[in-house]
Amino acid sequence: MSRHLTEDEITAAAAGLATGAEVNEHLAACVTCNRAVEEFRHLVAERRASLEAEMPDWGAQRRRILVQLSEPGAEVVPLHRGHWRRTLLAVAAVVLAAVGVWLQFGRQAPAPAKPAVPVEKILAEVDATLADDQVPGFEALSSMVPTADEMASMMTSNGAS
């Protein structure tokens, strides 16, 4: 085989795909084509690394929060303050929108026995937003807030002593 490898053959070799015996023989003997395959592999690895760097590492963030929580007296600092604030604003917007609908409906409707959007429903919506595991930061915050059971046990232990 006298010719160098084609672009397709170099790509295939770099990807580890089965290339013909002819290609393998040429690769074993030709420094130029070997270098081309190595360069292509390097390019792919670099691209993959930069793509991964662009993605937030939720796993690492979660571990850091857990470490912070396990330290006694440690304060939980939201790692992505900007993102965390945006989420807070989004929650506020949901509440305001729900209250707005309720007020509007309550004014227009002729003396409704019950408000169209009960407060419980608004609170449930906020709870659902806070409980959303996909929202980083709030996950940790909600675990900091004691549940009703925990509150009750705290009150009982205080009263018992």
30 in the Ramachandran plot: left (φ > 0), alpha (ψ -120 to 50) or beta? beta
Residues 43-102 touching Zn ion, rule: CB under 5 A, are none
Determine, following the binding rule CB under 5 A, whether residue 36 of this chain makes contact with Zn ion.
no
- Closest to Zn ion by CB, 30 vs 126, is 30
Contact range with Zn ion by CB under 5 A, out of 23-31, 47-55, 88-96, 124-132 = 23-31
CB of 30 to Zn ion, least distance (A): 3
Q: Is 32 in the site for Zn ion (CB under 5 A)?
A: yes
Which residue from 12, 13, 23, 33 is in contact with Zn ion, where contact means CB under 5 A?
33
Query: If binding is defined by CB under 5 A, does position 4 make contact with Zn ion?
Result: yes
Contact flag: residue 30 with Zn ion (CB under 5 A): yes
Residue 139 beta carbon to Zn ion: minimum distance, rounded to whole angstroms: 54
Category of 132 on φ-ψ map: left (φ > 0), alpha (ψ -120 to 50) or beta:
beta
Name the residue nearer to Zn ion (CB basis): 34 or 129. 34
Q: Which amino acid belongs to residue 160?
A: A
Q: What does the longest C-alpha to C-alpha distance in the chain come to?
A: 92
* Of 42, 38, 35, 29, the residue nearest 2 (C-alpha): 29
Q: Using alpha carbons, select from 22, 23, 2 the residue that is nearest to residue 12.
A: 23
> Would you tell me which residues interact with Zn ion (CB under 5 A)?
4, 30, 32-33
